[in-house]
Amino acid sequence: MMVVLWPSFLVAIVAEGFFFSLFDPNDLSLFGGTYPDVQPLAVYTLGFFCFWAFCSLASMLTCYLMGSPGDKRQPF
């Protein structure tokens, strides 16, 4: 499990740093153009967990695809 979660954690840190260096949390709007009244720290936290979820899904898919079809061992 740590083979998936630790690399995705590290990549999520880098992705959040790149994303929020380009976009200010106060300037992000929802679909209708409304600006939610939330603290920037909450936006950073939510963004980090979203990046971590997407990166962990990519890592799980990679780990799943590493096994060959005739392989009897499970990747997890």
Q: Which two structure tokens, joined as six digits, stand for 44? A: 């950073």
In the three-class reduction of DSSP (H, G, I as helix; E, B as strand; rest coil), residue 29 is classed as: coil
Read off the pLDDT of residues 32-57 as tens digits, 9 standing for 90 and up: 676 677 888 988 999 999 999 999 99
**Residue 71, pLDDT above cutoff 70:** no
Convert 32-44 to b/e letters by CB count within 10 Å (16 or more is b).
eeeeeeeeeeebe
Q: Which two structure tokens, joined as six digits, stand for 17? A: 């740093």
- Model-level pTM? 0.77
